[in-house]
Amino acid sequence: MASAAPTRARHVVLALTLLLTALAYLDRICISTAASAIKRDLALSDAQLGFVFSAFTLAYALFEIPSGWLADRFGPRLMLTRIVVWWSALTAATGLAAGYRSLVLIRLLFGMGEAGAFPGLARAYSRWLPSRDRGRAFGLAVMTGVLGGALTQPLVVSLLGVMSWRRTFFLFGLVGLLWALAWFGWFRDDPQQHAGVNAAELRLIGQPAALPHAAVPWGSLLRSRELVGLCCMYGGTIYGWYFYLTWLPQYLLRARGFQLRAVGWLAALPLLSIAAGVLAGGWLSDGLTRRHGARLGRRLTGLFGLPLASLAIVGAVLASRPEWAALALSAAAGLAALGVAPAWATCLEIGGRHAGVVTGAMNTFGNLGGALSPVVVGLCLQRWGSWNLPLLSVAFFYLLAAACWLVIDAGRPIEGVG
């Protein structure tokens, strides 16, 4: 008798995590779309609004490693449920803000609560997905999150036409709670404990024996060339990412003279390019890893994409026509994103049972780079009135990130993490 075909529970896991990343970006970005209404109702200054925006990123970065450790310790079923319930509650609480101080506090707590979402997702992938599919899974996850952020703007605009910004935040908070109920009810940390997984799917996953939680080998992590390289690489990559998320519309308006009606879709192009880049990078990385091994396969997309992204940034600076500059920046965003999904897959391969801590460390430095980027742009504009200097700093950090890939070997697990 023929053996049973593998069940597809792992596909449900992937679908649920893709929905998670879309909701994460929706709840994270919706405040920027509603900023005008919030600023008017709460009588905020531009400077105060800037601190409101930065509060999330700073708290998110600082709590990534502790939250990653909790994902390793207690598993993604409990921790992702906790994270989504927390951020959904804080999303709803945003609608209760009475002024500047309460809004900053809510955003700080929001960042604390959402920290650990991607490390928790990484832990789920490490137990539920075959190694050969993890790069493309991370590509899909980041792509879905970015597309969710891109769709957030017209969605919030539409909702603000029929309800107040306060009620909009209540609505978004409810959606997250529904996801948390579905996740906790269906998911299990170990696929062997899930009724919907048969023996054929377990063989396909290549499921290793479950390992008990062990003390984090902090000394080995701090000495790891791979982890240090990943942290520096991701900080340089996300430094550029945040230029597109924050200052790009102002650059198009003030430096390149576009009309406001054209800025909306031009500012969305880098996000679409990032979505394509992370998806392509994940698929390419998995294929290259099967063909050439993890050491070469995981690093090639970053080594290829980041230097080209740096050249595209220089091309944008030198472009004589505004349209060419906008297209060059979009190309740079997508090329730099080619190494994002392989970086997350590398964390799983070198992190073992401590993949949550490893991914949390990498994402911490990524978000610190993201927090630095808008500050550098603002200082350059204030002191020298220059857009070219901050853009060239993006090109520099892309080259630095590419160099970091040379020291990252995804085929060499960190000592003591197995």
300 plus 418 within the same structural domain: yes
Is 220 a member of any domain? yes
Q: Are 111 and 192 in contact (CB under 8 A)?
A: no
- Give mean pLDDT, residues 58-77: 85
Domain enclosing residue 181, as ranges: 9-204
- Give mean pLDDT, residues 2-12: 82
What's residue 234's pLDDT? 96
CATH code at 295? 1.20.1250.20
Is 249 a member of any domain? yes
Query: Is 311 exposed, middle or buried (CB count within 10 Å of its CB: 0-12, 13-18, 19+)?
Result: middle
Domain count, the chain: 2
Q: Are 116 and 20 in contact (CB under 8 A)?
A: no
Average pLDDT, the chain: 85
What is residue 197's three-state secondary structure? coil
What's residue 260's pLDDT? 53
Instruction: With CA atoms as reference, report the closest residue to 118 among 149, 157, 166, 79.
Output: 79
**9 alpha-carbon distance from chain centroid:** 24
What is the percent of the chain with per-residue pLDDT over 70, rounded to a whole number?
93
41 plus 16 within the same structural domain: yes
**323 alpha-carbon distance from chain centroid:** 28
Q: Count other Cβ atoms within 10 Å, centred on residue 316.
A: 24
Q: Hey, what are 161's tokens?
A: 């036409």
Is 211 a member of any domain? no
Band (pLDDT 50/70/90 cuts) for residue 26 is confident
What's residue 228's pLDDT? 94
Q: H-type helices in 115-224, by residue range? A: 117-128, 134-160, 165-186, 199-205, 218-223
What's residue 33's pLDDT? 67
d(CA 250, CA 263): 9
Measure CA of the first residue to CA of the last residue in the chain; give whole Å.
38
Is 47 a member of any domain? yes
Is 3 a member of any domain? no
Is 176 a member of any domain? yes
Band (pLDDT 50/70/90 cuts) for residue 1 is very low
Which of 180, 204, 228 is the last residue before a domain boundary? Answer: 204
- Give mean pLDDT, residues 325-340: 94
- Give mean pLDDT, residues 335-357: 86
Q: Count other Cβ atoms within 10 Å, centred on residue 306.
A: 30
Q: Hey, what are 398's tokens?
A: 């892309």
Band (pLDDT 50/70/90 cuts) for residue 416 is low
Q: What is the pTM of this model?
A: 0.75
Would you say residue 208 has pLDDT above 60?
A: no
What's residue 401's pLDDT? 97
What is residue 11's three-state secondary structure? helix
d(CA 146, CA 140): 10
175 plus 303 within the same structural domain: no
Instruction: With CA atoms as reference, report the closest residue to 173 among 86, 45, 51, 65.
Output: 86
What's residue 232's pLDDT? 95
What is the percent of the chain with per-residue pLDDT over 90, rounded to a whole number?
33
Band (pLDDT 50/70/90 cuts) for residue 121 is confident
